[in-house]
A = this chain, B = another copy of it.
């Protein structure tokens, strides 16, 4: 298979309204990613060879600032972790002709796998139906590397690897990161994770000690709270609106922080999901991100930017009766339509960005990656080497065959545009259903701009049992009533950043990601029924079924 078509991105044609801070002065140009790759010794593709994303960056970074050091935040646990010392013996393996009786790596002779094949979509023919018709079969052999057929193969990928993941896939990931974010400081690096939940666990062990509080949106990803709690780390919630967490509120919380009242020292870590936040669906605008970054600089806050939904940014919502906005006409237009990441404005190196393939390829790869300054990435890698290890080599080989050998960067951007249009369609389906079935005086919402979640606000004051019953009790009754009507939504209280805080809002979270479109419509119809019954309203005029 020849090199994939070059990507069309150029920096000269930026016509978007968004000014991306610290634009590349020597950006990745069209036609250049594959041609401009540094030639590297073949030894970097070998079994368990060390991988360094530094080798895979294209632009020059010498004129950019160096990142700040984070010694004052890094825990002693992380500071003293040496990584796996046996891997240091690998440095002697470069000697010509050396025979290794050193590392306890099994011989690939005993991997019972001769060939791995995948049927995957051809670029531009991405639907399931098209893939069945016109899908392409891509194959990895056992010894492709030794036979010079590919840089990656079963013998290599299925053996042990480094905590970074294999250089073969790390190169692609680094290039993709540079293309999309172009971090504005010198010493940024990438390393793979086994998924962002694990990455958060490892980040907290690197940056927090028991008794600490970290900052997050006041409704936040519950697994993050549940990952932090056993480490003795609590979450201080920051109020948010449809554009995500409020910088002034954050500034105020930090400026007035009283350790005696909070029973924790002043926080130094912000955990945020800037795009399509879970559960609220809120997406921070470019200006909002700048303001948040500025508050973080003011209080020296380290930022964990968790961005699983970054490429689930959708087309603008035009309402039920207006024509759709056409798909991005080029890769340039697509990339410029994306809200700039915190990483892309991170002149200090104070952002650890968590990316994941879970929402855009498949969660079952358990492959994500971390982008941060060299100090942070090195610390992370050492931890991976003595705990998680890198992602499964089987998954790495599968993604490599798809992303590097088949689609290339260009085909992947096409795929991301496809996903964008699919989620736009789904989002529009749920919004149309909500317009149709839900009583607007009880339930209100903002159209989500990104992600998987539609966040429905309920006016609990209109509930017949209010104020006799608490918000949480009313929430539970609504939740169970909806189940009785045959639909499942998630309770907003499950996402409290801090369950001990007072809350005077009642939300339910619906997702439009999972169910087929006609089921989404029917699910929301059932929701409408349940809400009318629970709030003792009359039956809906629309599709009123006998079942109430």
A397-421 contacts to B (CB < 8 Å): 397-398, 402, 415, 419
Residues of B within 8 A of A415 (CB): 112
Contact B99–A230 (Cβ < 8 Å): no
Q: Which of A107, A112, A488, A514 has the most CB of B within 10 A?
A: A112
Contact B118–A85 (Cβ < 8 Å): no
Query: Which of A15-23, A334-342, A358-366 makes up part of the contact surface?
Result: A358-366
Query: Which of A52-60, A170-178, A386-394, A465-473 makes up part of the contact surface?
Result: A386-394
Nearest-CB residue, chain B, relative to A86: B222
A192-250 contacts to B (CB < 8 Å): 194-195, 197-198, 201, 222-223, 226-227, 229-232
A418-476 contacts to B (CB < 8 Å): 419, 422, 430, 452-453
Give bound CA distance, A197 to B392, whole Å: 13
Nearest-CB residue, chain B, relative to A107: B514
A490 beta carbon closer than 8 Å to chain B = yes
Contact A490–B117 (Cβ < 8 Å): no
Query: Which of A61-69, A127-135, A262-270, A282-290 makes up part of the contact surface?
Result: A127-135
Residues of B within 8 A of A393 (CB): 362-366
Nearest CB in chain B: distance from A210 CB, A: 9
Nearest CB in chain B: distance from A307 CB, A: 14
Nearest CB in chain B: distance from A76 CB, A: 8
Nearest CB in chain B: distance from A157 CB, A: 5
A50 beta carbon closer than 8 Å to chain B = no
Contact A113–B120 (Cβ < 8 Å): yes
Give bound CA distance, A126 to B359, whole Å: 38
Residues of B within 8 A of A516 (CB): 107
A81-113 contacts to B (CB < 8 Å): 81-86, 89, 92-93, 95, 97-107, 109-113
Q: Please list the residues of chain A having a beta carbon within 8 angstroms of any beta carbon in chain B.
A: 77-78, 80-86, 89, 92-93, 95, 97-107, 109-121, 126-128, 131-132, 135, 137, 142, 157-161, 194-195, 197-198, 201, 222-223, 226-227, 229-232, 278, 358-367, 383, 385-389, 391-398, 402, 415, 419, 422, 430, 452-453, 483, 486-490, 494, 509-516, 519-520, 522-524, 526-527
- Other than A99-B523, A100-B514, give 18 A-B pairs with Cβ distance below 8 A: A81-B230, A82-B226, A89-B488, A95-B483, A99-B515, A99-B520, A101-B430, A106-B358, A109-B422, A110-B360, A112-B121, A114-B119, A116-B398, A194-B388, A201-B386, A365-B394, A366-B391, A392-B392
